Structure 1
Amino acid sequence: MPSAPVTVATCTYVFEAEILRGYLRSEGIEPRLDDAEIITADWTMSVAVGGVKVGVAPDQADRARHLLAAPADPFEDDDPHSPAEAASWRALTGALISPLFLGTLFGVYNLGRVIATADGESARTWRRTGWAAVFLLPWLLAVVGFGL
Structure 2
Amino acid sequence: MDEEGSKPDWNGIRRTYLKFSEAYNYFKDAFRILSAAFSVLIAVIVWLLRNIILQSLIGISCQSFYSATSNTQSICSILVRSVLSDDQKLFLKTVQRLNKANISKLDVYGLFIVDATLPLRLIQVIATYTIVLLQFAFQ
Fold-level similarity (TM above 0.5): no
The two structures have a TM-score, normalised by structure 2, of 0.29
- The structure carrying a bigger strand percent of its residues is 1
Highest Rg: 1 or 2? 2
- The structure carrying a bigger helix percent of its residues is 2
